[in-house]
A and B are shown apart, each in its own frame.
Chain A
Amino acid sequence: MVRRKITGAVDALAPRTDHKCERAVDPYDVPDDNAAIKKRRRTANVDLNAQSPIINDDEVENDENVPQPELEPTPRKRRGRPPKAAPTVTNGQATTHSAQRQRTVQAVTPIKSNGVDTPSRRSIADRSARKKSARALIERVMGDAVSDDELEDRDIAREIYESSEEEQEEEDDEEQEQEEEQEPATPSNRGRPGRKPRARARKRSPTPPRDLPPHEQYFYQNKPGLTKTSSNTLSSLKLLTHEEYFSLLPKLKDSHAADVDFLHSLHAESFPQWAFEMSQGFTLCLYGYGSKRRLLHNFACYLNSNYPSPNHRIVIINGYVRTLTARDILTTLLSALSPNPDSTSDLTPTISALLSQLSSTPLTLTLLINSVDSPSLRKSALQFLFCTLACHHSHKIRLALAADTPDFFFLWDASARAQLNLAFHDATTFAPRAPCEIDVVDEVHELLGRKARRVGGKEGVIFVLRSLPENARSLFRLLVGEVLVAMEDESKNGEEAAVEYRMVYQKAVEEFICSSEMAFRTLLKEFHDHQIIASHKDAIGTELLSLPFRKEELESILEELTA
């Protein structure tokens, strides 16, 4: 008895260790297939056995008493159950408590010594919450007189209890999920959503409130514990490949095609107005859902046909092209101004050259920019370029922008907006995006984390290389150079350009990039990890290396690397 008192004190003082121990032999515990947990439980049991056989007795008793509710088929009946259990309660309660408390003290040691794979704090809390709620239910039944203020607690207790029951039914599904969750050394806090808030939320509002303003919705949906989702995965679904996607796509009929065309024609009616606004020095900015590529193209047609002038040039910039650079834009603009442009390598002089050339010619330029908020145009240097063009004094450049995201507004600070002098128009087109605008399959797979897509284009490669040591960069430069040479040669026979592994290794050694094949392999491994290189064997077994980029991309990468 003395011992029990002490354990009681310990229990009160250190509830967390208490939970930890309970975790190991919790009778309500989900039978866990997880190897780690099993192992831990086993050790705990062994320790318990070694220390005191009495506890084993308690455990047995405990196991007999408490799992009974699990036999009940539905939670509904369970709700009616407690009175039935009343007669046995005194006994049951006493044993449960003693069992728990005794176990507490003795079980502390093994867990601590074992403490490598601590179960997630939350799951411990959940289990203990479940346990406590079970205890509370039993206590309530035992002592019939319940004060009013306990009522709410009781409800909560029951809910927790029941929700855990439900989960046991889903158990099989969860097993896999739990495996995933428990594996990391430090389990994330949200890995296992708390059951308590969820249960409450479920009772009070079965569906989330509908009419909340967006910010409230945000807080509502980000409440801890509300991120509960089912554990279904797409494993049963065969994901689409590019080939399948493009073979199915033409067969699909868009039932709204006519409506989309109609909407387009409505927007097209605004062309004269837009032209007028642009002529008055405003920069058009079209936003809204749907692709605006066709709209801008037709706008260009309109401008071309209604204001035909030898001194007017329209330049279209497709922001969705991932490889778009400032130089592309500037060289195009320069070539629009004069037939044989002399482009310099530096960015800024070209702007001033452009502007000075513009002041000296009678030409006017109209820039139509698709997807102005696409990743390739989001760089401040490019936006700055547009601002500079827009606020050029002779007002010979007019801009029309089309934005695709709801956040395009943040592209510009106040100063940029003042320079652009924007006039916004809601041009929701509902037009589907063309394959050139969006790589559907890659986007989705990337979203699902199914296929780590190779780092996107030139920027990605540069980014990766920046994080690698100098000799890796030199090696990649070497590789790019060799592949480009190979491309020149092989463009005639139409094969994919690849270089021989041996040859590259030799050159790398010659250039003191690496001294051993081991080091060479290590460097290549790094490239493989980022998927900026591919290797395969040809018919006679020669190992070949290739780079998964287009020729232009490779050229610009090489430029960047040698700069």
Chain B
Amino acid sequence: MAQVHSSTVPFEEDDHRAAFIFSSGEDDRQLPTAASRPAKKRKLAGAGKKAASQPQLQQPAFGSDSTFIPLFNGAESPEAVNLRKELFEASWPVLETRIQHVLREANRSTLDEVTAFLQQAAQEKTEKITAGFIITGPNIVSQDLLFEQLSERLYTEIRARVVRLRASEVSNLKAALKKIIRDATANESEDDDGSVVVPSTVSKALFYEAGVRTMDVDPKKGRKYLDYDLDVLSWSDRIQFDVLFGVATSVELFQARLPRSTARLLYGAQFDVVQANSVLESVVKTAVAGSRATLRIGPSLLRSLVDRQQEQVAGIQLFVSSVKYAYMCHFYANPLSVLLAKQLDRKLLQPEHLRAVRMLESFKAKVEVAIDARQMNHAQAMIEDDDYLIAQILEQQQKCEDYLKQLLRTLHLISSTGLSTVSFTELYMTALSKGIDLEQADEMIRPAEVVRRMNADEFLNFIQKLLHATETGSPELELQGWASEAEEFVDAVTELRGEVEGLMERSKHNGTTLRSQYSAQSKVLRTTVVAQKVQLSQDTAALTEEDKAYTKAIDTMTALLSQYLRCEPINNLFLHEIWVYDSKLPYREVFVPRPGAAFARGLSRPHDYLACACCSKVDGGLSSTLPTTCILYHLYLEAGALINVADLWSAYYGLVGNDDDGSMNREGLDERSALVCFYRGLAELRMMGLVKQSRKRADHIAKLKWL
């Protein structure tokens, strides 16, 4: 509040300036004011913590790094605050580099193809213009990286200058030419160490990126560029031009827009880009599921993130930002995030931390379980003994790591051996939310069915995959091989393999194929005529000894799998709140805003924001105490598509004005003052784009918005 008052004065003079450098001439006066700000409520708090800040007088440069504010109503020790900050700074950038790596890798094959094509085209020396069409699909937005990589690559490999033209950037031919010349020559001066480059060795690749939004326009523009290129053809003995197009739809559509004479001059090839889904899959594996991720993104948040990627054509960058935001929220607003530190200093934990831990749902659940199990001492110690609790917390760290390992191993085995057909992301989300229990009938993973349907060869292959996965782990998930840890499982599987191999040998010797009770061929349909009626019966074909043994092997395998592949839902874990971030609210507010709803709410129920005494009674209704614009908005809602301003005014004045008799409503405004308010409200409605002038009738305005 103090700030509010202090700042009303100085900025009046900047009112009419369009752009200016901000300088508060009263830094010295402002600083103490800011430092004495009152306690504040955090909106962001993921775990619903209320916290406050007493900004300290540490003064880092804004931009390089930023301070975290002490939580627990300011009681959090500076060490703990710093630790949170360090944890964030240690965890996210690592992940970000990994993600960048994954994204760059995803484009590798496209890059190779394009480069090869251009090289080959350069050797062929045709009269035509070399044109590559890169089919990006609708998510052309997220392909910035690809084009960037392409220009780097082309420069290093074939010394090509790359000028990138974007539909939005170059609206006409002149702008395009300017940009081409400028970019091309700028590169020259920068890169060529002063040596003059003979133009014939310079090949320029023009990128023309056709955005999906402006698709109808773009091909025409593309045509312009090609026309331009035709002119440049006269120079082609000296400068070699290649054109690369980014196409969001298809080459056919693009070609349909080109005149035939232009199309004939192209020597083209088409390249596909890795589709968004597979990129998303690898990013999820790396950044969300991978063992490097210090913070787990909870299943429901992850679900909404993934859904958004699929429903809206959002670039992968948005997904990355959202995950980053989840990290930010957790470390910035949850004081318990210090518990994520690998080597936790006990002294760092304040009584507030322990109190907060005891407030957690998972803590309560654990204590209740202990009471149910009659472990009264344990339960009591948990609640009363701080040291005991700290010990439990530290112990839990290890448990969480184990859980994670088990989870990832299970998922890796399932996805790499083809036990489940759904995507890894889907599998991961299910595992987190519902856990994996193969004995429970689950839509997604039915190992028994999959395994039973296998013939002997497939079965062996499957075993091979299992063993391989166990041995090598997954580099994507940063999962080490764990064969040495799971000796029992490996042994059992290896034994099964030997057995089945032996069985196959024997049946081959006998001249039969090995089959199990479950394979389809074993069922024989028999028809018998009994008393002139046909009876159908299913009979198990006679199984050989080997077949029976094989059937047994399959049964053993399914039992083994369901015993070994299992994990709990993540919410069953003690202290899961600390290392799982699953709050959808900040994400929704920050990334999927509903401005229309916010405006509508503000205008129709100002009390929700203002919390004023005068408007609390009306509860979304109309009252003379509401701010003018809100009153007008209410009247606006009641009106039809065309509003008579005279009626609007009389309705408004009737509500806020004083009576002409002077007997009623003494607090009301006189006509001219009310008119001033009315003007302001109407002007604001117009500014927000709710109404516009209507030429249909005098003094009427037209409604434009239905929020």
Contacts and interface: CB of A to CB of B under 8 A. Distances in A.
A301 B688 contact: no
Contact of B3 (A260, A268, A398): A268
Contact of B315 (A229, A261, A414): A414
B504 to A, nearest CB: 55
A152 B682 CA distance: 43
Contacts of A349: 182
Q: Is the interface of B mostly helix, strand, loop or mixed?
A: mixed
Contacts of A395: 63
A227 B641 contact: yes
Interface in A215-273: 215, 217-218, 221-222, 226-234, 237, 240, 244-245, 248-249, 251-252, 254-256, 258-266, 268-270, 272-273
B61 A311 contact: yes
Contacts, number: 361
A440 B27 CA distance: 34
B380 to A, nearest CB: 39
B34 A447 contact: no
Contact of A260 (B69, B610, B672, B697): B610
B317 A233 contact: no
Contacts of A303: 62
B314 interface: yes
Contacts of B545: none
A59 B291 CA distance: 97
A79 to B, nearest CB: 28
B63 A364 contact: yes
Contact of A315 (B3, B16, B19, B687): B19
B647 interface: yes
Interface string A1-42: 000000000000000000000000000000000000000000
Given A301-B30, A446-B693, A307 B62 contact: yes
Contacts of A316: 14, 19-22
B388 interface: no
Contacts of B643: 229
Interface centre among B638, B687, B705 (most CB of A within 10 A): B687
Nearest to A395: B63
A215 B62 contact: no
B20 A449 contact: no
A258 B313 CA distance: 44
Interface size classification for chain B:
35 or more
B692 to A, nearest CB: 7
Contact of B698 (A276, A300, A449): A449
A537 interface: no
A387 B65 CA distance: 23
Contacts of A207: 638
A275 interface: yes
Interface in B228-254: none
A239 B325 CA distance: 51
A308 interface: yes
B7 A301 contact: yes
Contacts of A263: 609-610
A305 interface: yes
Interface residues of A, number: 137
Contact of B687 (A234, A245, A404): A404
A428 B186 CA distance: 46
Contact of B63 (A248, A262, A279, A308): A279
Nearest to B592: A424
Interface in B42-89: 42-44, 53, 55, 59-63, 65-69
Contacts of B63: 279, 307, 312, 364, 366, 395-396, 398
A289 interface: yes
Contact of A314 (B21, B609, B645): B21
Interface string A274-290: 01110110100101111
B19 A426 contact: no
Contact of A248 (B17, B321, B638, B673): B673
Query: Which interface residue of A188, A424, A433 has the most chain B CB atoms within 10 A?
Result: A424
B41 A425 contact: no
Given A232-B650, A423-B591, A245 B676 contact: yes
A314 B611 contact: no
B162 to A, nearest CB: 16
A418 B317 contact: yes
B359 interface: no
B55 A272 contact: yes
Given A221-B641, A406-B707, A233 B676 contact: no
Given A332-B21, A406-B599, A447-B691, A234 B649 contact: yes
B1 A265 contact: yes
A415 B317 CA distance: 10
Interface stretch (A97-105, A134-142, A317-325, A488-496): A317-325
B520 interface: no
Nearest to B682: A444
Contacts of A251: 673
B24 A300 contact: yes
B699 interface: yes
5 contacts: A208-B640, A251-B673, A348-B182, A414-B314, A430-B602
Question: Which 5 residue pairs of A and B lie closest in terms of their CB atoms, listed nearest first?
Answer: A307-B62, A269-B40, A279-B66, A424-B593, A436-B15
Interface of B: 1, 3-4, 7-8, 11, 14-24, 27, 30-31, 34, 37, 40-44, 53, 55, 59-63, 65-69, 140-142, 144, 168-169, 175, 178-179, 182, 186, 211, 213, 313-315, 317-318, 321, 324-325, 328, 332, 589-591, 593, 595-596, 598-600, 602-603, 606, 609-612, 614, 625, 627, 629, 638-647, 649-650, 669, 672-673, 675-677, 679-680, 682-684, 686-689, 691-693, 695-701, 703, 705-707
Given A214-B706, A332-B20, A443-B687, 11 more contacts: A231-B697, A233-B699, A268-B37, A279-B66, A306-B67, A308-B27, A315-B20, A348-B178, A425-B590, A438-B687, A440-B679
